[in-house]
Structure 1
Amino acid sequence: MKKTTLLRSALPLALLGLSACAEPIGDRPEAEETMMPVEPDGGIGDGAEPLPEILGTEIPPALHGRWGLVAADCTSTRGDAKGLINIDAEGIQFYESRAVVDEIADKSATMLSARFAFTGEGQEWTRGMLLSLSDDGSQLERSETGEDAIAEPLIYTKCEPQGDVT
């Protein structure tokens, strides 16, 4: 019994002695924090990709509108404007097909790089496209990637707004 009583009384003294060896919290140097870099596009760290919800799935408004490969594409009233495209927030209407945004790879106010899902003439396919606006906003360059992609970029000119026809 004497050993148990001795241990019980020695234990608090031993703990008190150990705590006396530790530095007081106020005397400890502050730990340095390493800040994680944030990239201009909102990504975190070197080479981080933006989160999909940041990119969204809409085509930038500067790219919206009617665009023609030749001037007649913008003015034809006979329905034969095969080089006319109409771009809205969700996709691109071509002469005989429609392409909607499937997955965005990169995007800015005047550029979009994305995979598009196409439908037309009873068929479905996907294709990568890069849409980029000229500095003055009057021309749109469209290039494609993927199977059966157009080899050379196509340059479209912005069509004048159509007046109300009643």
Structure 2
Amino acid sequence: MTLTHSRHLLIIGLAIASLPLAACGDREEAPAPDAATETAIPVEPDGGIGDGAGPPAGMADAIPMRFRGVWDYVEGACDETSDLRMEISPRRIVFYESVGDVTAVDVANDNSITVQMSLSGEGETWNEELRLELESGGDRLVPTIIGADGEAMPRKRCEA
């Protein structure tokens, strides 16, 4: 082997050694994901990440069914214009002149829950906690505003 031939082999060897390792082998690139076939990660109604874990123990993401419905003062006529009428749905309570959007529900037991709400009415907004207790086998509801002085006014269940 001549000196010139040895130099050429050395140069070729160095060139090959300097190639990136990723270039070795016959690897195909993975196709880019098609935006039309991608699936979004589910989001739960309570804002969870879609893992199905649900709210913490004792907390619910909605007012339980047994508290839902239309309620009016025990001596009321269940008329839509009654100022003590309450219409309770899973995530909202509608009062005579205000509406409360439920932000959290703490379930104490089968007959008692505490509802945190963001209320609006008569041009104002405020937050409030309301304890709802069922009596008389679920036919009577006693709402109490947490932290407020005043007499609790029991409500009867109205026909929807």
Q: With structure 2 as the length reference, what TM-score do the two structures score?
A: 0.58
Q: Work out whether residues 60 and 107 of structure 2, in 8 Å CA contact, stay in contact via their aligned partners in 1.
A: no
Q: Work out whether residues 60 and 110 of structure 1, in 8 Å CA contact, stay in contact via their aligned partners in 2.
A: no
1-structure distance, mates of 2:134, 2:90: 15
Aligned to 1:14: none
CA deviation string 1:124-143 (max 9, x = no partner)? 10111100111411100100
Aligned to 2:116: 115
1-structure distance, mates of 2:136, 2:77: 22
Aligned to 1:58: 62
SS at match of 1:136: helix
Superposition pairs of residues 92-131 of structure 1, within 5 angstroms: 92-131=93-132
Aligned to 2:157: 158
2-structure distance, mates of 1:107, 1:52: 14
Q: Work out whether residues 74 and 154 of structure 2, in 8 Å CA contact, stay in contact via their aligned partners in 1.
A: no
Query: Could you tell me which amino acid in structure 2 is paired with residue 141 of structure 1?
Result: V
**CA-CA distance at 1:102 after TM superposition:** 1.5
1-structure distance, mates of 2:89, 2:108: 15
**CA-CA distance at 1:150 after TM superposition:** 4.9
Q: 1:101 to 1:125 in 2, by over 3 A?
A: same
Q: 1:73 to 1:150 in 2, by over 3 A?
A: farther
**CA-CA distance at 1:105 after TM superposition:** 3.4
SS at match of 2:137: coil
Q: Work out whether residues 64 and 86 of structure 1, in 8 Å CA contact, stay in contact via their aligned partners in 2.
A: yes
SS at match of 1:153: coil
**CA-CA distance at 1:90 after TM superposition:** 0.7
Q: Work out whether residues 130 and 143 of structure 1, in 8 Å CA contact, stay in contact via their aligned partners in 2.
A: yes
2-structure distance, mates of 1:150, 1:116: 18
Aligned to 1:72: 76
Query: Could you tell me which amino acid in structure 2 is paired with residue 122 of structure 1?
Result: G
**CA-CA distance at 1:153 after TM superposition:** 1.7
2-structure distance, mates of 1:120, 1:140: 23
Q: Work out whether residues 60 and 104 of structure 2, in 8 Å CA contact, stay in contact via their aligned partners in 1.
A: no
Aligned to 1:47: none
SS at match of 1:72: coil
- Unpaired segments ≥5 residues, structure 1: 1-50
Structure with the larger helix share: 1
1-structure distance, mates of 2:56, 2:146: 24
Matched residue pairs, number? 106
Q: Quote the RMSD (CA, aligned, Å).
A: 2.1
Query: Could you tell me which amino acid in structure 2 is paired with residue 119 of structure 1?
Result: S
**CA-CA distance at 1:107 after TM superposition:** 4.1
